[in-house]
Amino acid sequence: MRQIFGFLIGIFVGWLFGSTIAILLAPESGEELRGRLRGRASGFIEEVRSAANSRRAELEHHLEELRAPRA
């Protein structure tokens, strides 16, 4: 669990750093860039939620298998 948490923190910090650099070096106007970044951020957040839900379902299924009485 600590590895997953550390990985997610690393992704978040990398995303934050990358978006800061993109804002500073982007040739687009601020309004256009912010709109694009919002879209990417919401897509990224949705991907993380989807992965978390998938992993949760997998772990719940595994837990049910472990709790099931063995014949």
Q: What is the pLDDT of residue 71?
A: 67
- The per-residue pLDDT for range 22-59, each reduced to its tens digit, is 878 877 777 887 888 899 999 999 999 999 999 999 99
- pLDDT at position 1 over 70: yes
Cα–Cα–Cα angle for 35, 38, 41, rounded to 5 degrees: 150
- The residue whose two tokens read 């709790």 is 67
- The single-letter DSSP state of residue 70 is P
Distance CA 23, CA 21 (A): 5
Range of the domain at 43: 2-67
Residues 44 and 15 sit within 8 Å (Cβ to Cβ)? yes
Domain count along the chain: 1
